[in-house]
Amino acid sequence: MNQNTDTALGTDDAFLPEDADFESVGDHHRAAAHHFAAAARHHLAAAEADDGGDTETADRHSYLAYRHRLNGVQYAEIAVMDSESAEDVIEGGL
């Protein structure tokens, strides 16, 4: 597989470091947005590669899109779980 696929979309596409220190719910929302945006870029790259007949690159981008989506969902879930206002909404029956 193409080893440059990760960097072809830019350095901001790299996964966030595992030791990143998240201080707020907003940080988790930003991390989720980062991963969802990266997933979208990989899906577009996969579509372009598929249109060009490059199945190996399309498969690699599809895999990376999936991984970013999983990470995005994880950070979004953490943001909701850590949000005190979300707890008030749930307890209020809304």
Residue 31: which of 78, 63, 86, 83 has the closest Cα? 78
| pLDDT, tens digit (0-9, with 9 covering 90-100), for 38-71 | 999 999 999 999 999 999 999 999 999 999 999 9
Do 58 and 18 contact (CB within 8 A), yes or no? no
Q: 11-15, 20-24, 33-37: which range is least confident on average?
A: 11-15
**Average pLDDT over the chain, rounded to whole?**
82
| pLDDT, tens digit (0-9, with 9 covering 90-100), for 29-41 | 999 999 999 999 9
pLDDT value at residue 52: 98
